[in-house]
Amino acid sequence: MNNKTAALTSVRDSGGVMQRLLNNKLLLFITLASLMVIPIMVGDDYVYHIFITICLFAGLSTAWNIVGGYAGQLSLGHAIYYGIGAYTGMLMLNAGVSPWISMFVGAVLAAGVAVAISYPCFKLHGPFYALASIAFLEVFHVISLNWVGLTGGANGVMVPLELGWSTMIFSERLPSLVIVFGLMLFVLAVSWVIRRSKLGFQLVATRERESAARGAAIRTVHVRLYAAAISAGLTAMLGTFHGSYLTYIEPESAFNLTFSIQIVLFALVGGLGTVFGPLYGTILLVPITELARGWLGSSAIGLHGFVYGVVLVLVVLFMPDGIMSIFQRYLPSSKGRRVAARDERSTHHAHLNDVKKPERPPVGEVVLKVKHLDKHFGGLHVTNDVSFDLHKGEVLGIIGPNGAGKTTVFNMISGFLSADSGSVEVLDENGHFISPKTPGAFARSGVGRTFQIVQPFAAMTVEENIMVGAFYRFSSVEESRKVAREIAHELGLSRFLDEEARNLPIGGLKRLEVARVMAMRPRILLLDEVMAGINPADLREAIELIKVIRDSGISIIAIEHVMQAVMELSDRVIVISSGEILAQGEPEEVVKNEAVIEAYLGKEVTDASTE
Amino acid sequence: MDLLFSLLINGLMLGSLYAMISVGLTLIFGITKVINFAHGEFMMIGMMLTYIITTYLGIHPYLTLVFVVPLLFLLGIVVQKYLIEPLKDSDEHIQIFATVGLSIAMINLVLMLAGSNNFNTPASGLRETLGLGAATVLTGQIVIMLCSICMVVGLHLFLSKTQMGRAIRATAQNRNAAQLMGINVSRINMVTFGIGIACVGIAAVLLSPLYPVNAQTGQSFVLIAFVIVVMGGLGSIAGAFYAALIIGLVDAFAGFYLGSSLKDVAVFGIFLLVLIFRPSGLFGKARKLAHVS
């Protein structure tokens, strides 16, 4: 369960006032401009150095944030990519190649390494991923120490001091500042674009809830690899610059754990997963420690590390969401849109009732064939020879006692579990039956599902949650947003559009599950207990809603305990008990079946009813 | 043959040293579910204390156990109470940052106070060599080996035979259920953290006469300790002990055949393979699943 809060994802134009201000072009412009203007006005070499350091770390931190913040992969080994960039630049410069070219060579190399490292590690979470990244960093460190022929070992690599733009080596500081400032802007721009793009939404969704993300046809491994590659490439470019700036590089400083942690620290202080958090975090922290070092001189060995450590501890204790969240806390959030949404809500009920319901189309051809599914969990035979068909436009109810294996069947017909034997065939858009294997493949073949235990992307707003589903069909953020709003409106979620999913009541979350999967416009909809725990008024609405969905030609399989809904909606009912199909047929028929009553209520009750 | 025997003995000696450092780390993870990135720094502090007390009072290094172990136990309790406990409902990575921050602060505090100098605790006869067949070992190493076995057995008995130990295991297996059974989980967490840090304190005292200490000493050992703890299955004390012996042997053999500079590649290579293919550890069983659900 992921507990990130507001600042993580709500950096959007619809966030709080201060958030808007922080995103406000004017404030950003002033901040960025002052990074150039202040050192030029002061003109002191040391001040230049501080500002170059700020731009460097702001860039590194922002690049890290793409994989660490958006994708939630806590890499403590980002110095690997910095080191690769730095070494590539230095070695190629010694071979007469300008850093302007080697920068891109380093970026490509680093991206390749990032993919190679991340691919086997993608299933590791939290501390395990962090440990793996440290181990990789250590391996690179040792290799760079020992591959003397390439890296010069512990002696490091130096470059001849040939000044000029082509070598990126200058006697003055201003040109270096201009270059690193430009690089930082580039990294910020990339990060900004990603956060607002389909990829950004998919990364955050994957971070928040991987299984739901897979259900929404997101290629969770791919998107993380993209993020890792982009992040590593940008980091390497900054590394190449820094190598030229220092004119010297050695393993100890290039592949350094503390350096990696610093990059992460700035992002954390600013606000993980926010676009501009890392920038503000760096601007806040670097000058403090650099100035302290300047004042206290070399006697203060360890001082800046100590400050960083203490700041890190204080930040996690008192403002784990970073600077971006602090401002937000003291300012009222924007009310305008919510009021508008409420108006929309009052018309919503009218909308449901007024709409002339289309005639229900007749039940059509078979769209899903389930054949002889079998599944064991250890010694438990949870699914025993389950077979059934689903027809177009049909509602198939699945009922059965708790623990009968209903959700297991669902997991097998949506790819989350693979069956021991048996097959699931789905009619694809071209009229061929195919056998998808993974959740993503099922989603792409038109099977959408909800989860019994709701799986919202907790830190995303309702609108964003639904957009993640809509991205399956649209690449454009605007189109997805439009579709998401329409669906939210249909499902009575309009008033919650800007609310984070974690704040929704259970009924709302159930509706959100349906909304997200409807946004993918599935042809087969699997509903896992969407009616459970909602109040009677909402139940009426939910039943009507499912009828509307059915009448639009979507085939539905619903696991349900609420008998009112089962009886009213189902064309056919399958009763599963102890992993087997106990009975099937029309709802009225099935509920009178003795075996069914016995499975639900026990033998004595059956006897009692027959007497 | 003599060479192999000698490497084997050296590996086992090194392994038991690693075991002493790792059991506390794995105990803390097993119960509090927090990976203590500052574990090595607690050891470094322990070694510094041993050095200071030994040279100041002029006593045998082993006698400092009386001071160092209780002090580190208290330090552990304080850290758990004021740093880890308040974050118990936070995200995993917030908890990682908390101990990472603590580690950085501790290293640099020592750097500020003591610089980057090496401090040598008096050997007090513990660096005498002993012939053991073809191998030679130091008396101090023999003590470490015996103590690490005692420590593992002692912890095992404590966890399985005492009421407190049972409460600790119950908390590890299901925090909520333990709470419902009337166990004060935050107190258990504090005690566990204290014990884990006290264990590394014992390791620090025994280690001090054999190794010099500086501000960075903890870092070089803690990475190995992570490797061991993950290999042994996070939270498993016996697993950590076996994994420590394995890593000790890998260390000794790789150090001889690959050279001391490249042996880390072997150690971390093994670590990465374990992480990727057997994240529940070489000896990890279903136990980890209980934590996940």
The string of pLDDT tens digits covering residues B135-186 is 788 888 888 999 999 999 999 999 889 988 889 888 888 888 888 888 888 8
What is the β-pairing status of strands A524-528 and A395-399? unpaired
B146: part of which helix (H) or strand (E)? Answer: helix B139-161
Q: Sign of the C-alpha dihedral, residues A203, A208, A209, A210?
A: positive
**CB of B34 closer than 8 Å to CB of B240:** no
Domain ranges of chain A: 6-329, 366-610
Residue B95: pLDDT above 90? no
pLDDT of residue B284: 60
Q: Fold identical between A6-329 and A366-610?
A: no
- Which residues 91-150 of chain B have a CB within 8 Å of chain A? 91-98, 100-112, 115-116
Residue keyed to tokens 């190995």 = B224
CA B83, B87, B88, B92 dihedral sign is negative
Q: Give chain B's radius of gyration (CA, Å).
A: 19
Measure in Å the smallest separation between the Cα of B244 and chain A Cα atoms: 17
Residues in chain A: 611
Q: Do A145 and B116 touch (CB under 8 A)?
A: no
B289 contacts chain A (CB < 8 A): no
Choose the closest CB to B101 out of A257, A302, A313: A313
CATH for A366-610 (3.40.109.10, 3.30.1360.120, 3.40.50.300, 1.10.1490.10): 3.40.50.300
Tell me how close the Cα of A139 comes to any Cα of chain B, in angstroms. 5
Question: Which amino acid, residue A327?
Answer: F
Burial of A277 (0-12, 13-18, 19+ CB in 10 A): buried
Take residue A201 and report the two structure tokens written for it. Answer: 């939404």
A223, A304, A227: which is closest to A62 by C-alpha?
A: A227
- Whether residue A142 contacts residue B282, with contact meaning beta carbons closer than 8 Å, is answered with no
CB-nearest to A302 from B93, B108, B264 is: B108
Strand order in the sheet with A380-391: A380-391, A366-377, A421-427, A433-434
Q: Is B2 on the interface with A (CB under 8 A)?
A: no
The CATH number, out of the four listed (1.10.860, 1.10.3470, 1.10.357, 2.60.120), of the domain defined by the range A6-329: 1.10.3470
Token pair of B109 as six digits: 């505090």
Query: Could A316 and B215 be called an inter-chain contact, meaning their C-beta atoms sit closer than 8 Å?
Result: no
More confidently predicted of B85 and A105: A105
pLDDT(B210) > 70: yes
Please tell me which residue of chain B has the smallest CA distance to A4: B91
Tell me: the pLDDT tens digits for A6-26?
444 444 444 455 555 555 677
How distant is the alpha carbon of residue A270 from its chain centre?
Answer: 19
Chain mean pLDDT for chain B:
86
Q: Which of residues 448-507 of A touch B (CB under 8 A)?
A: none
Measured between beta carbons, the chain A residues lying within 8 angstroms of B90 are 3, 316, 320
Nearest-angstrom CA–CA distance, A222 and A122? 10
Q: Which residue of A has its CA nearest to B266?
A: A139
- Collapsed DSSP state (helix, strand, coil) of residue A347: helix
| Calpha distance A177→A266 (Å, rounded) | 20
Whole-number pLDDT of residue A22: 53
Q: Which residue of A has its CA nearest to B263?
A: A142
Residue B49 clears pLDDT 90, i.e. is over it = yes
- The partner residue sitting opposite A3, judged by closest CB among B86, B90, B109, is B90
φ/ψ of A471, rounded to 5, equals -65, -15
Pick the closest to residue B111 from A305, A302, A293, A306 (CA basis). A302
What's the DSSP call for residue B213? B
pLDDT for B292 = 30
Least confidently predicted of A188-197, A549-558, B18-27, B241-250: A549-558
**Residue A261 and residue B100: Cβ atoms within 8 Å?**
yes
In angstroms, what CA-CA distances link A18 with A262, A285, A326, B161?
Answer: 26, 21, 9, 57
Phi, psi of A346 (to 5 degrees): -65, -30
What pLDDT, on a 0 to 100 scale, did the predictor assign at position A20? 56
Calculate mean pLDDT across residues B126-130.
79
Report how far residue B241's alpha carbon sits from residue B224's, in angstroms, rounded to the nearest whole number: 13
ipTM of this complex prediction, to 2 decimal places: 0.87
Residue B265 touches partner A, C-beta closer than 8 Å: yes
Residue B93 CA to residue B113 CA, distance in Å, equals 30
d(CA A493, CA A496): 5
Tokens representing A184? Answer: 């930082």
Q: How far apart are CA A412 and CA A424, in angstroms?
A: 8
Q: What angle do CA A474, A478, A481 make, to 5 degrees?
A: 80
Q: How far is A119 from chain B (nearest CA, A)?
A: 10
On the question of pLDDT at B280 being above 80, the answer is: no
pLDDT at residue A602, rounded to an integer: 66
Mean pLDDT per 10-residue interval, chain A, length 611 residues:
42 48 71 90 89 95 93 90 94 91 95 91 79 89 88 85 85 90 95 90 86 83 93 96 91 89 90 88 86 70 83 87 67 41 43 54 84 85 88 88 84 88 86 86 86 82 86 83 85 81 80 85 86 78 83 87 84 87 84 77 57 43
Nearest-CA distance A464 → chain B (Å) = 21
Instruction: Report all structural domains of chain B as residue ranges with CATH numbers, in order of start.
Output: 2-292 (1.10.3470)
% pLDDT > 90, chain B: 36
Quick check: A319 contacting B, CB < 8 Å? no
pTM for this entry = 0.82
Residues of A in contact with B270 (CB under 8 A): none
The dihedral region occupied by A95, where left means phi > 0, alpha psi between -120 and 50, and beta the remainder, is alpha
* Residues B186/B202, Cβ–Cβ less than 8 Å: no
Q: Are strands A580-585 and A572-577 parallel, antiparallel or unpaired?
A: antiparallel
Instruction: Give the per-residue pLDDT at A343.
Output: 43
pLDDT on residue A230 = 96
Measured on CA atoms in the order B281, B286, B290, B293, is the torsion positive or negative? Answer: positive
